[in-house]
């Protein structure tokens, strides 16, 4: 590399989206968009920068302290690039509480930045769909969110052999810890953090963490046992009357009624990192042996706008990123080949033909909804123009030479099949539509 030249690398942990990558991303998000809009969700968007305060107050510690892109602006304000959507949407709801009719069904597609060590499935900038029902405490809202998720998975043609929605409940987790394991209430938060990180730690480190919190070896063993129990087995030990148990019971009953139970299973260990989750929590897992990991997740939060207004608004939602999910789609061969291949028309240019002839043809095609491009250099030989068309993936090359103009015709070169025909100018659009 020339020492006087700047680096062509994108900033660490970020991606350049070339047209091919963008075709994928547009296909991906428009599939999700189509599903959520079919349930009546409305799109919103937040500013890229937010006051630091809203992250300091509410997010899990890791994001607020270590991963935040935080700086002072030229006016001395402490601002951060959004690392997630929830604090922003909370602020937006709080700002318009009087005029918004709850519940809201909202979604957004946005980028987020976190200062992470780049690794497989984790980047510093990623794009994410956020889908939420805001302002409903009904268990039917939890159900609807699970329903939307299965609809999204099925829109990508993922079947029940490919993924599993593991559902837990924060209240139930807390109750089990205090009622069965008899741990102190103030220990529950820290234990849930340890359990959340369980699969990412060695067994020794995980046990060490729990011991540091103050759990005895016996309690740790008991906790381990509970992980392997079903909902029925746990509730046999502690009853089904607690709020968390009731929520899980009702949710699974509804899921069964509408036939979604094949996609879902109870999992006591599902926690979700953020502090704000209070009820139902869930993660969608890839079931393939090569990629047995969480693809995305979400849950219920009971105090969405609490840091902005003295009012309690509960919500439930999920965030679906692009990085991990792309790996899932690739692994299961769920990305159609034709999302990238575009069917395009190129109009050739010649020195002896005035530009307006090409222009008129181009306008006619565009009016007939046929996207097309005019070759820019009139002094290039036809061979060069054909090679350009092939390299660029054009399907059709239109030739309007002196001969064609005299006869009132157009030559249509079909590059995919390497055939060509000359047709009446008036029949040109019809013929091209057949070929595309």
CA distance 199 to 55: 26
- What the block records as the tokens of 167 is 């559902």
Residues in region 275-314 near its own copies by CB under 8 A: 307-310
Under the binding rule (CB under 8 A), the answer on residue 15 touching its own copies is yes
| Binding test (CB under 8 A) with its own copies, winner from 24, 27, 29, 69 | 69
For residues 36 and 215, which CB has a smaller minimum distance to its own copies in the complex?
36
Point out which span in 188-196, 209-217, 276-284, 353-361 binds its own copies (CB under 8 A): 353-361
* C-alpha dist (Å) from residue 216 to 187, 203, 204, 374: 13, 15, 14, 76
Contact 321, 296 (CB under 8 A): yes
CA distance 276 to 301: 6
- For residue 11, give the DSSP letter: P
CA distance 416 to 106: 44
For residues 56 and 190, which CB has a smaller minimum distance to its own copies in the complex?
56
For residues 161 and 376, which CB has a smaller minimum distance to its own copies in the complex?
376
Q: What angle do CA 195, 201, 202 make, to 5 degrees?
A: 120
Residue 286 φ then ψ, to 5°: -75, 130
For residues 366 and 407, which CB has a smaller minimum distance to its own copies in the complex?
366
For residues 95 and 421, which CB has a smaller minimum distance to its own copies in the complex?
95
For residues 391 and 406, which CB has a smaller minimum distance to its own copies in the complex?
391
> For 180-230, where are the alpha helices, taking DSSP H only?
185-197, 203-213, 217-227
For residues 252 and 268, which CB has a smaller minimum distance to its own copies in the complex?
252
- What the block records as the tokens of 361 is 């043809």
Residues in region 169-188 near its own copies by CB under 8 A: none
For residues 27 and 187, which CB has a smaller minimum distance to its own copies in the complex?
27
| Binding test (CB under 8 A) with its own copies, winner from 30, 31, 61, 71 | 71
Please give, one letter per residue, the 3-state secondary structure of 277-333: EEEEEEEEEECCHHHCCEEEEEEEECCCCCCCCCCCCCEEEEEEECHHHHHHHHHCC
| Binding test (CB under 8 A) with its own copies, winner from 14, 187, 246, 291 | 14
Under the binding rule (CB under 8 A), the answer on residue 381 touching its own copies is no
Closest CA to 235 of 227, 225, 245: 245
Omega within 30 of 0 (cis) for the link into 103: yes
Closest CA to 231 of 216, 217, 246: 246
Residues in region 74-133 near its own copies by CB under 8 A: 74-75, 77, 79, 81, 91-92, 94-96, 101, 103, 105-106, 111, 113, 115, 124-125, 133
Smallest separation (angstroms) from its own copies to the CB of 130: 13
Q: Please tell me the count of residues contacting its own copies according to CB under 8 A.
A: 94
Under the binding rule (CB under 8 A), the answer on residue 384 touching its own copies is no
| Binding test (CB under 8 A) with its own copies, winner from 9, 119, 202, 417 | 9
Contact 206, 198 (CB under 8 A): yes
| Binding test (CB under 8 A) with its own copies, winner from 30, 31, 42, 179 | 42
Under the binding rule (CB under 8 A), the answer on residue 10 touching its own copies is yes
Please report how the helices 231-238 and 243-257 are oriented relative to each other, as an axis angle in degrees rounded to 10.
Answer: 150
| Binding test (CB under 8 A) with its own copies, winner from 257, 341, 384, 433 | 257
Point out which span in 137-145, 199-207, 238-246, 317-325 binds its own copies (CB under 8 A): 137-145
What is the contact mask toward its own copies in residues 390 to 419, using x (rule: CB under 8 A)? -xx---------------------------
| Binding test (CB under 8 A) with its own copies, winner from 24, 27, 29, 48 | 48
For residues 60 and 229, which CB has a smaller minimum distance to its own copies in the complex?
60
């Amino acid at each position: 590399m020339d020492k006087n030249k700047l680096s062509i690398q994108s900033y660490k942990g970020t991606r350049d989206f070339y047209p091919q990558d963008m075709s994928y991303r547009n296909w991906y998000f428009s599939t999700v968009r189509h599903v959520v809009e079919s349930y009546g969700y409305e799109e919103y968007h937040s500013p890229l920068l937010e006051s630091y305060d809203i992250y300091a107050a509410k997010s899990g510690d890791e994001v607020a302290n270590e991963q935040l892109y935080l700086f002072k602006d030229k006016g001395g304000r402490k601002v951060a690039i959004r690392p997630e959507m929830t604090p922003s949407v909370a602020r937006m709801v709080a700002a318009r509480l009087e005029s918004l009719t709850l519940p809201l069904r909202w979604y957004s597609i946005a980028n987020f930045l976190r200062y992470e060590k780049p690794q497989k499935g984790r980047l510093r900038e990623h794009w994410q769909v956020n889908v939420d029902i805001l302002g409903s405490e009904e268990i039917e809202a939890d159900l609807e969110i699970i329903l939307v998720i299965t609809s999204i998975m099925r829109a990508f043609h993922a079947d029940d052999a490919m993924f599993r929605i593991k559902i837990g409940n924060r209240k139930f987790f807390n109750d089990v810890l205090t009622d069965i394991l008899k741990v102190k209430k103030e220990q529950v938060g820290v234990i849930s953090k340890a359990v959340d990180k369980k699969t990412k730690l060695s067994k020794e480190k995980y046990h060490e963490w729990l011991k540091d919190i103050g759990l005895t070896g016996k309690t740790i063993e008991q906790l381990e046992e509970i992980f392997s129990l079903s909902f029925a087995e746990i509730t046999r030990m502690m009853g089904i009357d607690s709020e968390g148990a009731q929520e899980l019971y009702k949710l699974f009953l509804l899921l069964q009624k509408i036939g979604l139970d094949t996609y879902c299973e109870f999992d006591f260990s599902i926690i979700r990192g953020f502090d704000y989750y209070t009820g139902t929590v869930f993660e969608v897992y890839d079931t393939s042996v090569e990629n047995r990991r969480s693809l995305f997740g979400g849950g219920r939060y009971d105090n969405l706008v609490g840091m902005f207004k003295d009012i309690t608004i509960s919500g439930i939602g999920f965030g679906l990123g692009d990085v991990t999910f792309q790996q899932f789609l690739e692994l299961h061969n769920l990305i159609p080949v034709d999302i990238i291949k575009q069917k395009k028309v190129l109009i050739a240019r010649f020195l002896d033909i005035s530009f307006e002839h090409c222009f008129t043809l181009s306008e006619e095609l565009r009016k007939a909804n046929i996207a097309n491009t005019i070759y820019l250099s009139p002094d290039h030989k036809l061979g060069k123009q054909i090679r350009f068309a092939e390299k660029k993936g054009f399907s059709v090359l239109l030739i309007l030479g002196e001969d064609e103009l005299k006869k009132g015709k157009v030559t249509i070169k079909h590059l995919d099949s390497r055939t060509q025909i000359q047709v009446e100018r008036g029949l040109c659009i019809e013929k091209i539509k057949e070929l595309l």
